[in-house]
Homo-oligomer: A and B are copies of this chain.
């Protein structure tokens, strides 16, 4: 059906999946790396660094904005994007917590 049965899962799982989905494309990872490194960045500069058209980059930025991970600030003609520290930390905890939950041992079934 293509419709994800989101409602049937826990809030924690839905949140984790939401953040993971925002990261689930190399272009969006690349954008986030730029913002992490530069602290903030004009939209146009991001477009120049990526091998994608302006409209496609704009779409990826929109998805990242909708996940909450980044914010966009209109500065006259340009738009400055940056990481939302609060949401970033939240995503880090949600996903980090999942990974941290697994403690490797020598006894394993497979």
Could you tell me the distance in whole angstroms from the C-beta of A57 to the nearest C-beta in chain B? Answer: 12
CB of B40 within 8 A of CB of A110, answer: yes
Q: Check A29/B98 contact, CB under 8 A, given A5-B51, A24-B20, A85-B104.
A: yes
CB closest residue in chain B, given A21: B24
Task: Say how many copies of this protein the assembly contains.
Answer: 2
Asked if A54 is an interface residue, CB under 8 A from chain B, the answer is no
- B-chain residues with CB within 8 Å of residue A6 when the two chains form the complex: 26
Could you tell me the distance in whole angstroms from the C-beta of A69 to the nearest C-beta in chain B? Answer: 10
Could you jot down 6 A-B contacts, CB within 8 Å? A13-B26, A16-B26, A17-B24, A21-B21, A88-B102, A92-B99
15 additional A-B pairs beyond A10-B26, A13-B30, A71-B110, beta carbons within 8 Å, are A9-B51, A10-B30, A16-B23, A16-B26, A20-B21, A20-B22, A36-B102, A39-B105, A40-B108, A40-B110, A81-B110, A82-B108, A83-B102, A89-B104, A95-B95
